[in-house]
Chains A and B, each alone.
Chain A
Amino acid sequence: MTEATFDPKDFEPIVHTRQVQSISRPSLSYWQDAWIRLKANTRALVSLYIVIGLMAFTILGPIVWSIDPSLQDLDQISIPPGADREATLVQSYIPWDGTTLLEVSPGLRLAEPATTQSVRLLWDPIDGLSGYRIFRNLFPVGPERALGLPLAENFSSRDVAFEDRLDLRPGRYYYSVLGVNESGDESGYLETLVVNVARVITFDEALSRGLIDETADLKEGDTLTLGLHPLGTDYLGRDLLARLMSGARVSLFIGICAPFLFVAFGVIYGSAAGFVGGRFDQGMMRFADFVVALPFLLFMILFKIVFGIGPGESGIAPMLLAMVILLWPATARLVRGQILQIRQEAYISASQLLGAKTNYLVLRHMIPNTMGVILVTLTFAVPSAIFTEAFLSFIGMGVAPPTPSWGSMCNEGIKTMLTHPHELIFPALLISITVLAFNLLGDGLRDALDARMRSTE
């Protein structure tokens, strides 16, 4: 019988030389996974950058471009972007007696070079007429004889001078003189003159606007450069860029705050209904159905009247309140449905078996698991809130002037759409870009966060 010999080495554990199982990729949380999906979606990523850019425009913009949005530049009213900013210095206004300094040529003519201070017209007397009517138009008179704004009527055929000082802006005007006969009807005499009006500024005005100081060595005929307005000015001479930034604050504040508030309310309401269930749930959801049935915009307007806007108030708070009152049910329904679904899940039962309390279940399991849906709802709620604000402000039921918002700027811009389209285009463009960015971001988030809701694109 041989004796078995053991070496102590034989009792040492075998060292694994080969890894049986390997994790080839790091484990990802739900949110990390969603972020990777979102990053792969170019459209959503670009939208995200646009949204960040808009935030920067709103928050940092006023620091970079620190012009007061309510400051009126009276020399530059309704100026399009990139317009000429030169103004010629002139003497203060001297009244005119109808005589001329320029060479006399027949027909309707200018007595002096036309400036924003005054346009002085002269024409030849025509016998047999009892007077003349003077008109001014921004557009060519054309075959329909659109003469434009009636300025004055001269009641004598010898009275052949007219001075226009009414709200003159640099640019082209079409002046027409129409002869009137004894009976007060139009006679055949009609003459039209195209006048290019140059911008001038007097010493006093330049001093009072801070363009020059007392000691400046300037003489008549020198040119001054007026203040810069990168995007032009509105009908009151307010800087459009500054107003857009300040309006962005209002529009984005409402657009982001309102969804946060009503989604938060909807989450509380919906999770309460979904968790408690039974009669309570039935009653709560029936009430939500009624609120959904209220015609949204009509009630927004009604609530605006009810909450009222006192003098000096902007009307932002009533609008927020009205949106929260009317818009929560959709989120509540959604969250309730999700909660009902999650309640059936095995991990909830497991958690309950381990002794989890209701609060813990709701806060730790249910709400985090509905977070994706909530986030998507939130993202889609932003553009619709911005739309609503713009819509209400546009029909004059939203933010009260002088507080600018993109919607109220559109409302002001549409009145001068034909002559100064930039006043409408810029706010409209910003609304569209914002809404577009949030919509695309919402699409991207939905695809990234929820496989079930993934769109078929």
Chain B
Amino acid sequence: MLRYSLKRLVQGVITVWFIATATFIAMHSVPGNPLANEKAVTAEIRANLEAKYGLDKPPFEQYLIYMGNLARGDFGISFTQQNREVNDIIREHFPVSATLGILAIVFAGLGGVLWGALTALYRNRLPDIVIMFLVILGISVPSFVVAAISQLSIVNLNALFDMSLLPVAGWGTIWHMLVPSLVLGLGTMAYLTRLMRSSMLEIVNADFVRTAKSKGLPATRIFTNHQLRNAILPVITVLGPSIAAITTGGFVVEFVFAIPGLGRYFVQAVQQLDYTVIMGTTVFYGAFLVFMVIVVDLLYGLVDPRVRLE
């Protein structure tokens, strides 16, 4: 277990290095000079920036400087905002995105398992048909449309009751988080529901379930202790990729609901061509996702004793 974890960790570090290198190469192939179109940059600042990033040096030396900075956890200074370090930006905006993402994952996970189990139990009956119809809708409708429609519904709902039931946009209280995280988790929830349904259908008639029934266990106990626990395993394996989907899905939700998260900041940085912020957030997100996948894999080994980690 320990050896396996270490191996995965080393692999993860190499992957992050690959991501950082790809980002560096990508950003250095962007046509134009990052300092050329910056009017506010004076000669001294320019000289300082060139010295810091070694912009006057050959690309390989720049790469070494960049990697050195990254290794020390220094993502650099924003090009468009004065005196703002990329680390500050991440520190300030990532917790918002993370809160939103965790809530979304919780919604998606709980909802997916619950609906999936329900549809399997009521196979081909009304609850199954209704839920699976909604699931297909959830998979087919883009998140920005769901976000827009739910925002529109909040506006109409507030107008209908002539009071502010839920905030339309922004961030701060738990009420601000409710709708955006639901919207963000919806696609994943639909996907997990499908997965849970098929995994549950395989287990409904498994030998151990029949044994439990013949032992005379109550149906609820069979459901919670035998069926659910076994059917949930495939759902856990896709949690890693789901985290990635929810993280990037956050861009749109943060954009529509005006939430000051890192995703919205990244989109903004891209629009303003803020090189350091783009590179910093990309590497940060990449590293985050790589390690989330590792964590989920290790977790899977703990949850399912049949999985041998080697």
Which residues of A are at the interface with B, using a C-beta cutoff of 8 A? 143, 289-290, 293-299, 301-303, 305-306, 308, 383, 387, 390-391, 394-397, 410, 414, 417-418, 421, 424, 428, 431-433, 435-436, 439-440, 455-457
Residues of chain A within 8 A (CB-CB) of B140 are 383, 432-433, 435-436, 439
| CB closest chain-B residue, reference A413 | B148
Residue-wise interface mask of B (177-208) relative to A, using a CB-CB cutoff of 8 A (1 in contact, 0 not) = 00000000000000000000010011000000
> What is the bound-complex CA distance between A457 and B120, given in angstroms?
10
Residues of chain B within 8 A (CB-CB) of A391 are 142-144, 252
Contact A305 B273 (CB under 8 A): yes
Contact B145 A431 (CB under 8 A): yes
> What is the bound-complex CA distance between A394 and B256, given in angstroms?
10
List 10 additional contacts besides A410-B144, A439-B139; criterion CB under 8 Å. Answer: A293-B290, A294-B18, A294-B19, A294-B286, A305-B26, A305-B273, A391-B143, A391-B252, A395-B267, A456-B202
B36 at the interface (CB under 8 A from A): no
| CB closest chain-A residue, reference B31 | A308
Contact A301 B270 (CB under 8 A): yes
B251 at the interface (CB under 8 A from A): yes
| CB closest chain-A residue, reference B152 | A417
Secondary structure class of chain B's binding surface, majority of residues: helix
| CB closest chain-A residue, reference B12 | A293
Contact A290 B145 (CB under 8 A): no
Residue-wise interface mask of B (134-170) relative to A, using a CB-CB cutoff of 8 A (1 in contact, 0 not) = 0011011111110010011001000000100000000
Contact B148 A298 (CB under 8 A): no
Contact B248 A298 (CB under 8 A): yes
Of the residues A293, A306, A387, A456, contact of B19 by C-beta under 8 Å:
A293
Chain A-chain B contacts (Cβ-Cβ < 8 Å), number: 120
B220 at the interface (CB under 8 A from A): no
> What is the bound-complex CA distance between A444 and B266, given in angstroms?
39
Residues of chain B within 8 A (CB-CB) of A306 are 26-27, 29-30
| CB closest chain-A residue, reference B140 | A436
Secondary structure class of chain A's binding surface, majority of residues: helix
| CB closest chain-A residue, reference B155 | A418
Of the residues A296, A383, A417, A439, contact of B148 by C-beta under 8 Å:
A417
Given the known A-B contacts A294-B286, A428-B145, A436-B136, are A302 and B15 also in contact in the complex, defined by CB atoms under 8 Å?
no
Residues of chain B within 8 A (CB-CB) of A302 are 23, 26-27, 278, 282
> What is the bound-complex CA distance between A417 and B143, given in angstroms?
16
Which residues of B are at the interface with A, using a C-beta cutoff of 8 A? 15, 18-19, 22-23, 26-27, 29-31, 136-137, 139-145, 148, 151-152, 155, 162, 198, 201-202, 244, 247-248, 251-252, 255-256, 266-267, 270-271, 273, 278, 281-282, 285-286, 289-290
Give the 9 A-B residue pairs with the shortest CB-CB distance, closest first.
A436-B140, A428-B145, A297-B248, A435-B140, A293-B15, A290-B18, A302-B26, A432-B141, A456-B198
Contact B270 A305 (CB under 8 A): yes
| CB closest chain-B residue, reference A310 | B31
A127 → B minimal CB distance (Å): 36
Of the residues A299, A308, A439, A455, contact of B136 by C-beta under 8 Å:
A439
Residue from A301, A435, A439 whose CB has the most chain B CB atoms within 10 Å = A301
Contact B252 A394 (CB under 8 A): yes
Residue contacts A-B, CB under 8 angstroms, 5 given: A293-B19, A298-B266, A298-B281, A391-B143, A431-B142
Residues of chain A within 8 A (CB-CB) of B271 are 396
| CB closest chain-A residue, reference B187 | A387
Contact A299 B148 (CB under 8 A): no
Given the known A-B contacts A308-B31, A394-B252, are A295 and B19 also in contact in the complex, defined by CB atoms under 8 Å?
yes
Residue from A305, A418, A431, A439 whose CB has the most chain B CB atoms within 10 Å = A305
> What is the bound-complex CA distance between A166 and B201, given in angstroms?
63
A138 → B minimal CB distance (Å): 13
Contact A293 B144 (CB under 8 A): no
| CB closest chain-B residue, reference A308 | B31
Given the known A-B contacts A390-B142, A432-B142, A455-B198, are A296 and B152 also in contact in the complex, defined by CB atoms under 8 Å?
no
> What is the bound-complex CA distance between A296 and B141, given in angstroms?
20
Residues of chain A within 8 A (CB-CB) of B248 are 295-298
> What is the bound-complex CA distance between A289 and B286, given in angstroms?
14
| CB closest chain-B residue, reference A140 | B159
Residues of chain B within 8 A (CB-CB) of A303 are 26
Residues of chain A within 8 A (CB-CB) of B290 are 293
Residues of chain B within 8 A (CB-CB) of A395 are 251-252, 255, 267
Residues of chain B within 8 A (CB-CB) of A295 are 19, 244, 247-248, 282, 285-286, 289
B79 → A minimal CB distance (Å): 13
Residues of chain B within 8 A (CB-CB) of A143 are 162
Contact A397 B270 (CB under 8 A): yes
Residues of chain B within 8 A (CB-CB) of A305 are 26-27, 30, 270, 273, 278
Residues of chain B within 8 A (CB-CB) of A410 are 142, 144-145, 148
Residues of chain B within 8 A (CB-CB) of A301 are 266-267, 270
| CB closest chain-A residue, reference B156 | A418
Contact A293 B286 (CB under 8 A): yes
Residues of chain A within 8 A (CB-CB) of B286 are 293-295, 298
Residues of chain B within 8 A (CB-CB) of A440 are 136
Contact B142 A290 (CB under 8 A): no
| CB closest chain-A residue, reference B19 | A294
| CB closest chain-A residue, reference B256 | A414
> What is the bound-complex CA distance between A299 and B23, given in angstroms?
8
Of the residues B15, B155, B162, B281, contact of A290 by C-beta under 8 Å:
B15
> What is the bound-complex CA distance between A140 and B302, given in angstroms?
60
A44 → B minimal CB distance (Å): 13
> What is the bound-complex CA distance between A289 and B252, given in angstroms?
27
Residues of chain A within 8 A (CB-CB) of B247 are 295
Residues of chain B within 8 A (CB-CB) of A433 are 140
Residues of chain A within 8 A (CB-CB) of B144 are 390-391, 394, 410, 414
> What is the bound-complex CA distance between A418 and B136, given in angstroms?
27
A99 → B minimal CB distance (Å): 40
Contact B244 A424 (CB under 8 A): no
Residues of chain A within 8 A (CB-CB) of B23 are 302
A394 → B minimal CB distance (Å): 5
Given the known A-B contacts A298-B266, A436-B136, are A421 and B18 also in contact in the complex, defined by CB atoms under 8 Å?
no
